[in-house]
Structure 1
Amino acid sequence: MIGHTPEDCAVTPKLELDALTQLSDPEFADARSSRADFAFEAQGLRMWVEAHAPGVFRIRCGSSDALSPEKPSARAKAHAEWLLAREEAVGELSVSSAVSEDDCGWLLAQGDAVLKVLCNPFRLELWLSGELVWQSWSLAQGEGPEGRAWQLGIDLDPDEAVYGLGATPGELDRRGQRLVSDLRDSRALPLAWSPRGWGLYFNTLGRLVHDVACDDEQVYRVQFHGNVLDVFLFAGEPSEIINQYSALTGRAGQPGLWPMGVWLEQTPGQTLDDVLRIAAGLREERYPFDALQLAAPAVYGFQQDKPGFEWNAARIPDVRAAQQKLQALSLQMAAPTFPGVLQGTELFDEWEDRGWLLIDDESGEAHVFAGNDVTGGKPFGLLDLTHKDAYRLWSERQRQAVDEGLGAPVCLAQLDIPDGITARGGETGSVLRTIYPMLARKALFDAVAGHRTPQEGVILSTDLFPAVQRFAWQQGPDVTNDWAGAEHSLRTALALGNSGVPAQMHRLGSAGAPLDGMTPELYVRWLAMSVFSANFSLQATEALLPGSFDEATRELARHWLQWRYRLTPYVLGIIEDAVRTGLPVQRSMAQAFPADPQAHVWDTQYLLGPALLVAPVLQPGEQTRVYLPAGEAWWDLNTGWRYEGGTALNVTAGLDTLPIFGREGHMLCLGPVAQHTGEFNSARLLDEVWMFGMPEHSPVVMRNKIRVMQMQGSSYIKGLEGLRILPSEGLEVKRRGAEVRISRAR
């Protein structure tokens, strides 16, 4: 198992607050239908507690002027919109003062969720269905490196796990880690939750420091930098928390159909002709795929003396001819870009004079960033995307590239922007480091999807920032070519799903890492795992392509790639469902089965959507162990056998199989075999239906309306016309017109 590094307590430095003052002696001030107000007279502060939505309490603390400014600035309104998709409260609050004879306090109730505000000492308690699920240890204010800051201390039970908080290659339980939100290596996101029934979202663009039981094994401390402490406290199961969190902060747009196909990543230094020859070879050998992702440096960008985009002639000499070759291979193109302009060009000087680039406060000149892979090592200036004209220009030029045939931009904009740089909007320091990748991704999404109804398209990036889940989708980490690399990729996807990000695109190996660890067995296991995910990419280097292996391995690669395309209707259905619920494609055991602590231990298993339990094989050999979560029955896709949950099985899995179990009451709808998504028939997206016991739930499937109704012990289903149906043992299928009846075999 991979450990907690690099985000653990020893690696990440403490960021202490000065003049820390504990809040005490709250006094009830006022109540209305959705809010209760409290005063801390000794500290000159007020606290608002709002029923923001069912099971969601919003807690804000600050001075009266900070909580309710007379005229919020346009920038403050913009910041609020970047963070929250829904600002207004939609819940109702019932307030009462009787807590007990021995203690003072108030009960703030909405349904089964009750928040207690207690006096002696001041603390908050969250109760759900009569059980205490969360309690604060302290709340204090002080001074941090960027002004006013707050510290919230939360009591943790000895065995309580904390999930979410962004990406990690290690254990999904973040206990024993310290993360700083604006440090790029922390890979932090602002949502945390526990299977006990609570979740927290810290609503800020400023710095957050999460000390998850580092300094004190029983306390989770959060340092919040900003004039107003603004925290959302969720009550419920993890799926309910992620649903409410995504409704609050925004949900992903849909990716469309072609991005669901397999991608091929160009190797750095490889010419376009070289990778097109590889693509043609894959087509000839009948390996399905849909997209070609070009490597850095950027293949298009601003001209040296004009604000128009041009294609890099050294990378793509003839754009039209390149597009024709891609079309002949039925491929879409993804390409790297960056929101900047190279130093030493006329355009750099002109935009520096205009104030369109990020300016160093001390020198008054544009800050020059060191060259990176995307710029080909050349130093550059960053567009100030808080400037509406610069933002609009960059987005419009990107749309022009899309109109010229670009399928998806690839953009990494989470840069180490040093302190002492202030954007036109006034953002600086940690706030600027937080919003910059957010604005870059938003501008790109506006370019790709803004003119489509419904909005559809993908922006590929590894950047993480608040509300990142609004933009499909997230690129997986660059990993090593060994078993640890496969596990790293999986754990990152599950951690992101725990943090509200619905889809990660895995990478099958890395062209930049040593290649000798990629054995045929590992290659097939990694490929099989990636097939049962949101999506993945192959690497266009010989040692990481199916053709470099023996014929048996090549045939296994075809087998699993065909499975990927058959699964596309189901996986895209999960992503379309995420637009409505926020739930991720790959769901960790703790997220999917919070009431089964034994399941949480099996943290490299996952639920793929609502219907499939997947247990990837992450070590050599055919023997593996699988845990089937309690409270459910499970059907082995490989044998058709039914198992009761709450048990661990010894499973033999050859390279042509993967331990996969269907959840009883669900169905799996499969599409036909295809070489690319262009072969999909929109009038017949489905080919076959697998049933796991008596159907009780309508299946998850893209752009189809299949409905299940139960009556007198049978299931009646509409929408399965013309499909082959594979019922579980003991069931029989009867068709009558457009209706299918599933009943017990007589």
Structure 2
Amino acid sequence: MTIVKRIAALCFLMLILLHANAQKSMGDLKGNFQRSNNVFRFLTTNGETRIEFCTDDVFRVRTSWDGRFEANEPWMVVKYNWAPVNVTAADKGTAIQLSTAKLSVRINKTPFSIDVYTSGGKLLSAEKNVAEGGSSKQEDTITTTKSLDASEHFFGFGERMDFLDQRSKKLRLNVGRGKGLPHVIGAYNVNEANYSPVPFFMSTKGYGIFFHNSFATTWDMGFSTPGQYSFSADGGEMDYYFMYGSSFPVILDRYTDITGKSPLLPEFALGLHVGTYAGGTWGHEALTSDTYVLALARKFRELGIPVDILHLDSVWRIFGKNGGKGATSFEWRETFKNPRLMFDSLYKMNYKMVGMHIRPRFDNGNTLQLLDTAREKGYVYPEPGNKGEFVNFFDSTSVNWWWNHGVMRIASQGAMFLKTDEGSAFGGLANESEKTGPTDEKARKLHNVFPIAYAKAPYEKFRDFNGIRGMNLTREGYAGIQRYPYIFAGDWPSEWQYFEPVIKAGLNIGVSGVGNWAHCMGGFEHKADPELYIRWCQFGLMSPVAHLFGMDHPDYKEPWRYGDTILHIFKKFDALRYRLTPYLYAASREMHDTGMPLMRALVLHYQNDERVYNITDQYMLGPSLMVCPVTVKGAQTRTVYLPEGEWVNFWTGSRHKGKQYLHVVTPIDEMPMFVKAGAILPMQPAMLYHGESAVDTLTLQVYDGSSGTCKMYQDDGKSLDYQKGGFAFTSVQLLKEKNTTKITVNKPSGDFEVPPTQYALRFYTTVKPVKITINGKALTDTEWRYDTTKQLLTVENAGDNSREINILVQ
């Protein structure tokens, strides 16, 4: 063969390879379509796309280039069977139009692409006019590209610490801590933090997309090419849900219909959670003991610090022979002389639940050879050469063995939940070792859903064993983790630079469907300066789950270690949290019903106000209370943005018009908080722990406005009866007409028998009342009082829940 022929042959071979590796679109539609109930099947020149209508405003798109479709998985999605949807199909010449009561989906024939309109004709999403729009495949990578509207903004993507609005950003979603050297970037690189990514976003155009794929994904939201965005996965199937909604709360409701709603935690879980290394963290394990745990628990009680839940972190157990710190032996460290007595004593001190930290690998201990036995019986996730170490949480038989032979050793002594740490180590770098576990293609597919399986197992096992609502604290997650049931933000140091990014994490995970969220208030490691500590704790005590835990030996993060002033402020906010329990519990029920998180980025309520798109240091806690943490060291003031409406300063009662920036003073013992005018905050008496005394009086803290509503929620606080109708709501309404404000408190409604309850009224109003009437009876001057400085009307006896109450303030 001549050199010219060789070059020609080589060029031909290169062209073949380039063609084989080229991006392959779906081509053109072949023929018409086939329909089976809600599913429409479209064959194209390069593959097949199926569109399944779930409801009249949600549909699923699945694309295959080889005609094969994967079986439905159980980890991310909980609902695959949908009721029939009324869909009409029409051939419009260049497109097939599928129409429901709310959507019109246009299937363009050449090239095959999908455009989505509302039933009224508003364009929501387009592919046709985008270069290489629609779905495509290159080797194992699958991609969908859509047009990007000039005014479109994106929110979601999981527990991000970089930005709130992700327009013009590029994101990589894959469970992990980030890459690099510890304390330089590593776990502390906020741009790479990926503890709990969620492949879901909401657009301000009125739709959301959930990419139903467990491989690592990349989202280019207008970063590379103006006018378009794309999402791709390293493998698997192009499978996504498109959901239309008039507002973000509607879209969140649709998304959590697919991936599951958050369960209700036990009501006492709204109280303070405290973690401890039992006396000595890494390198100081010999200092741990059961006596330290009991002394710590007693000190919280003696100092009058409200707390309900305690967990023992890593060093309660011996480090095993194979995995060391990174695995679980389920053998107590010898310094714990009597664990059963420790648990019994903690529960006698009215701690409601005590939990234990674990990691997902089996290990051999001094007397238990769990790893060896699990390998022999096939209860580890298989790795080459029978070197598997991870509990196979994808297999129910393995989970049962892990529970019976591992977890039950501590559950039978008194442990009631687990902290399932390091779910990212399955197929990723572990914290305390260089191990990565399985890394084959199947493991890469399971890597992101492993944290879900890992949290699901103890959540359900302990729920059944304890006979009450389940609890599990976990660090990592993915789509669907909200079901099992709360996560924390990971190991962020006690430094000012990480404080606001942690707040961003809470905002982003909330707009991604995960509402039960915590963080290590005060920071996890390094010694915090007292100001940072208390500012972080103020935020933590007004977070969805209040979690106090840190590892810096010997200071840790208990409030008395930072001086009397800090202790006093901590107790002030802790007591306020316990008083707000009825308000927080009602918001928890709303989250369970609708997917709305407790901690809400302002964009969830004020989607049409672009000023809130990048506010990452303010949020709504529940529907009515705006929290504004102070994140700058030494700050004596800060600027807050008040959205539309009217707002009342929680501490002073002063009123301010919305749609303005307000400069407020920030004394160290206050964190700026504002309440919506018209809001009604139900509050209970202060307590040292949940159930310390009966809640026989509720204070209705009402903020004058044109109108307002509140739905108090009550159940037994512990059982699963709420899933079967065992609950009650009490509606409260405020309505202002001319010079009279009417406050109506309805009788409780529902199957749960609400105990007799007295009401007190705290009514913030700028106008001093002249007459108060309750159910037609005028109160005497001694039965109410008005504080002109605080602009506060107080009525100590405003009736009880045995009948409807109508209060007229004139």
Name the CA distance, whole Å, in 2 between partners of 1:411 and 1:53: 36
Distance change in 2, residues 1:226/1:526 (3 Å): closer
Shift in Å at residue 422 of structure 1?
7.2
Q: Does the Cα contact within 8 Å between 2:360 and 2:423 map onto a contact in 1?
A: no
3-state SS in 1 of match to 2:162: coil
For the 8 Å contact 1:196–1:594, the answer to whether it is kept is: no
| Kept after mapping to 1: 8 A contact 2:648/2:675 | yes
1:356 is aligned, of 371, 374, 379, to 379
Q: Which one of the candidate residues 149, 164, 171 is aligned to 1:178?
A: 171
What TM-score does the superposition give when structure 1 sets the normalisation length?
0.84
Q: Which residue of 1 aligns with 2:529?
A: 518
Aligned to 2:54: 52
- Change in Cα spacing, 1:120 to 1:66, as seen in structure 2 (3 Å) is closer
Aligned partners of 2:393 and 2:40: how far apart in 1?
38
SS where residue 83 of structure 1 aligns? coil
Q: Distance in 2 between matches of 1:348 and 1:546?
A: 40
Within a 5 Å distance, the mapping from 1:487-498 to structure 2 comes to 487-498=500-511
- For the Cα contact (< 8 Å) 1:668–1:699, is it kept in 2? no
What does residue 309 of structure 2 align with?
A: 291
Aligned to 1:13: none
Query: 486-495 or 313-322, which moves further after superposition?
Result: 313-322
> What's the % identity of the aligned pairs?
19
| Matched-pair contact (CA < 8 Å) for 1:195–1:591 | no
Residue 731 of structure 2 is matched in structure 1 by: 707
Kindly indicate whether the alpha-carbon contact (under 8 Å) linking 1:694 and 1:715 is maintained by their aligned counterparts in 2: no
Matched residue, 1:690: 702
Give the aligned residue type for 2:491: D
1:702 Cα deviation from its structure 2 partner: 4.5
Alignment of 1:528 with 2:538, yes or no, is yes
User: Which secondary structure state, in structure 2, belongs to the residue aligned with residue 107 of structure 1?
Assistant: strand
Report the more deviating stretch, 223-232 or 615-624. 223-232
Alignment partner of 1:726 is 2:762:
yes
* Contact 2:459 2:471 (8 Å CA) reproduced: yes
Q: Are 1:271 and 2:288 an aligned pair? A: yes
Change (3 A) 1:695 1:329: farther
Structure 1 Cα separation of the partners of residues 444 and 466 of structure 2: 34
Q: Which residue of 1 aligns with 2:687?
A: 674
Residue ranges of structure 2 left out of the alignment (5+ in a row): 1-19, 179-193, 323-327, 429-435, 716-727, 749-756, 776-801
User: What is the CA distance between 1:650 and its match in structure 2?
Assistant: 1.7
Other-structure match for 1:151: 143
Cα contact 2:252–2:596 (8 A) shared by 1: yes
Aligned length: 687
* Partner in structure 1 of residue 101 of structure 2: 111
Question: In structure 2, how many angstroms separate the alpha carbons of the residues matched to 1:347 and 1:400?
Answer: 12
Q: How does 1:656-671 map to 2 (within 5 A)?
A: 656-671=669-684
Given residue 394 of structure 2, which amino acid in structure 1 is its aligned partner? T
Matched, 1:437 2:451: yes
Matches within 5 A, 1:449-488: 449-450=463-464, 456-488=469-501
Partner residue in 1 for 2:419: 410
Return the alpha-carbon distance in structure 2 between the equivalents of residues 549 and 350 of structure 1. Answer: 47
Q: Deviations over 1:131-188 (max 9, x none)?
A: 32322342343354xx5x4210122234533221111222112342321435553342
2:42 and 2:49 in contact (8 A); partners too: yes
Aligned partner of 1:341 in structure 2 is 362
Report the CA distance between 1:621 and its aligned residue: 2.2
Secondary structure at the aligned position of 1:82 is classed as: coil
Letter in 2 for 1:139: G
- Letter of the structure 2 residue corresponding to residue 84 of structure 1: V
Matched, 1:740 2:805: yes
1:28 equivalent to 2:32? Answer: yes
Query: Which residue matches 1:88?
Result: 81
Q: Please state whether the residue corresponding to 1:386 is helix, strand or coil.
A: coil
Tell me the equivalent position of 1:195. 204
Contact 2:460/2:470 (<8 A) preserved: no
| Structure 2 length-normalised TM | 0.78
1:460 is paired with a residue whose SS is strand
Q: Is the 8 A contact 1:299 1:316 kept in 2?
A: no
Give the corresponding residue for 2:183.
none
- The 1:108–1:388 alpha-carbon spacing in structure 2 relative to 1, beyond 3 Å, is same
- The match for 2:562 is 549
Specify the alignment match of 1:221 in structure 2.
Answer: 230
2:699–2:761: 8 Å Cα contact kept in structure 1?
no
One-letter amino acid of the counterpart of residue 621, structure 1: A
After TM superposition, give the deviation of residue 609 of structure 1 in Å: 1.1
Aligned amino acid, residue 181 of structure 1: N
**Aligned match of 1:4:** none
Distance 1:684 1:408, change over 3 A: farther
Any conservation in 1 of the 2:380–2:390 contact (CA below 8 Å)? yes
Any conservation in 1 of the 2:489–2:519 contact (CA below 8 Å)? yes
2:78–2:260 contact (8 Å) kept in structure 1:
yes
The 1-side partners of 2:348 and 2:377 are apart by: 44
> How has the CA–CA distance of structure 1 residues 179 and 722 changed in structure 2, closer, same or farther, with 3 Å as cutoff?
same
CA spacing shift, 1:581–1:680, aligned 2, 3 Å:
farther
The CA distance in 2 between the partners of 1:452 and 1:116, in whole Å, is 52
Shift of the alpha carbon at 1:679? 0.9
- Structure 1 position 598, deviation (Å): 1.4
The one-letter code matched in structure 2 to 1:59 is V
Contact 1:330 1:678 in 2 (8 A): no
Letter in 2 for 1:312: W
Change (3 A) 1:153 1:644: same
Among 342, 347, 362, the residue aligned to 1:327: 347
**SS of residue in 2 equivalent to 1:595:** coil
Structure 1 residues 399-430: Cα deviation after superposition (integer angstroms, max 9, x where no partner): 5633432132011242444499879xx98231
Q: Distance in 1 between matches of 2:713 and 2:490?
A: 28
* AA in 1 matched with 2:638: T
Whose radius of gyration is greater, 1 or 2? 2
Counterpart of 1:37 in structure 2 is 41
